[in-house]
Structure 1
């Protein structure tokens, strides 16, 4: 009873995230996949190997038949050559010596039916055996006669046909014909030499082939006429059908055919020089006779493996899950806030180690939390200080450089105005060490900066500063507008031919403070716009560093939702919007007044 209770326990309160259920299902899934993959691989490999071996064996058999037929055809060509030489060298075409010589050749070969010589207009010169011609044979229109005339000097093999030239029993023959030169009455003449052969040797060569219980070999010529078929009478009677159309498209090779309702493997070889095709037919059901046995074995093997794995996985998962459930109950106490709870779980080595490490983690968690808070606060302040230090020297360098050039040019009034504005600029920049100043001071700060830059660039641009009254009293990080205005001057207006304009606007909308810097400069391309805050911008001037620093300072101090957004179009201008939280002066004082 205990065994069955343990066996079915994973399914008593089924939940797909239970470790016992996960282990059981995982083992079963891995086993099923493994068995299926192995079975499929073995099955495919076995099937493929059987088919490849069968096709290879069939190909070898057809090759042998093809070689035998080619050897036989070469032998017939040699015999035809002997007959041709005898006829061509005979001083008298009707002499008894020639007739006796050819009669001897005919008697020594049972597959030779007749030898005959005709004039080019179809008149019989002589033949052996000596038989009379049929009057209506239409000799000059027969294929073998026409082929010899159309290809003078070349030996021609005809399609299988019934010999109807002589008054003898009708027989199926293949005619070898050729236009030759012979001597008659002391004059050289041209005629058609014909040697007819029967199917005795072809039939014997084909009958020796074994392609399974139902397989067979047949031979066709180059246009689809049947040269040999083991069931030739059924073919002629229309009781058996061979799909010859795809066969004629192959010189050699194999393919699968199911035109007769059964899957068959067709193997083809071409006999040279006749152009005949030796076709082997093998039935697929004889090749894979063990497929059903293999399928039955796979199913039985899979069921046995699943049963074994199910039992083993349930027992193993139970032993693993039991101490973990005890650990789960102990951890729930810690979840409720009891960090003083001591977890004591026995079981597997890993579970015991887990409980010990968890106790150590509980003791350390408060220390680590306090330490992390202190470290993050220190890091945040350090990053703000570094960013602030990057901006001030950057601006001071550019401003002093401009003052130096104006002094060298003797522009004293502009130097005085610039120095005065610079002193006010730095008075606001210092802000008694505070990083947080009112928006009104930040706008006054940027006004002094614009006065300096307008003198430097000889009134190349105009500017306007507008702000809602409610926005002026809000608090903001200092020195966030100067890099933006510097960027607008150097990258937007400096390269313009016409007079530029810079507008600075501050307002409150949806519980957020917005400050926008716009210019009517040359604008930025999409590549520069995408990369300006990521550090991948192609701008080579120093203001690119200042813009990124402004965005990073705002994000570090107020959080990721706040920072800079850019809008720009080439030849239209650029707009940079600063988004900040609305922080009244009193709230900032309570906060501490510095980063």
Structure 2
């Protein structure tokens, strides 16, 4: 059988109580539940890890930008301190030596634009390179100048602006300023030192950062002024909005911002010592792409697993249930009457054991059927023997011969008694074809037999019949007492010199019916008793034709082997035969047995 047929066959006739269906759906349900549970756990774990990794990656990028800026600012700060030291160590601000020193410093760094020293009221003291100032520059109103005056001794960094002090090309610069002491013509003076840095370097450091397709980095100062923004022109034009108020609340950290209508992840770091804030903006839909991809993967993975599990569960359940279906078909054959079906089922241990027990059961059934057939044959044989006994010609001949002799002798009363007893004897023997009669009829039958035999044997014996009144209505097989009485006459009393005695008794004891036939005849040895039970002791042609063994077999067939005859006999003492039967009342008799 091909794999396709194996997979299709179970679904041709689906019954929800079939073991194959139960195994398939149980295995499928358990597997689906486990796969779904594991998938959810893995999805949550991986998506959380992906989200944490995304945050960590963003943080690392912002840290790197912050580190680069701090490193650059630290370098600029060192240059400022070198310039400040050169000016402080010069005894004449206008000396040629100082000018050469500052020019050397300026020429060593391409990102240095200019160095200038002003008095507190805004007068130019010295500048490198030596370029004329522009008129109306409003020097004292510029932020870097005011901040330096307000915070003496503290280095100040300005926001990016266009350098407009000197007559040179306009450039975007960041101004470092600080109130310092200097010497002019031997006198110590207070002034404002300014060093302009080309903003292009800071711009390039920030532009190198990539935070996804839409993410970016911008820089603001401590007052919320934008130092750098990749879309600065849009900001100034009012076409783009940044929620700077929230940013100013954080020096470090990460939070989610939805002020622009989109979910954005804001990561902030502060650049020391400038106080600038490096702000990383990442869009959540890009950050969560990994979660979406993972979710799609999990869905496809689950579908593939379900298909595989379905195929495997159907195949496995088919293999498990196949021997059971073979066993089912064998049982169906037995149900249809075929007891020759011997199965050889291979499979699981339990199935093999079940098939073995099934074969043993079939063999036992066949044995029981053969036994029943034999018993029925024995039963029919016994019934035929009883029927034959009912019309035994030898018994009838002997009785009629006795009647003839009695008539010739003129003993009319005995003739009438014999004929009347013979008539009643045969009437009860026939019993309208019934095999079970009341104990009362059975005792009447044996009484008529004793009357005939007593006349025939010329009063050679006497008899006694005694039965409990409650026992008379019990049902019993017919012709079970007469063979015992016949056996007592022919084997026990006929050869005696003294008068014989035959006693017949019936009583109920412990819900059982007991019948007893006793005589004072010659008795029997154990070997003789065995022969009588084997029917070898039956004298064919002289009695009724029903042997003692026949009585035993009939009782066993009708009532079971627990019931039957018990012999007690001693030589010269007599013989006692006891019959044990179950109590069956006439109302319990559902019909003839």
Superposition TM-score, scaled by structure 1 size: 0.48
Give the structure with higher Rg (CA).
2
Superposition TM-score, scaled by structure 2 size: 0.49
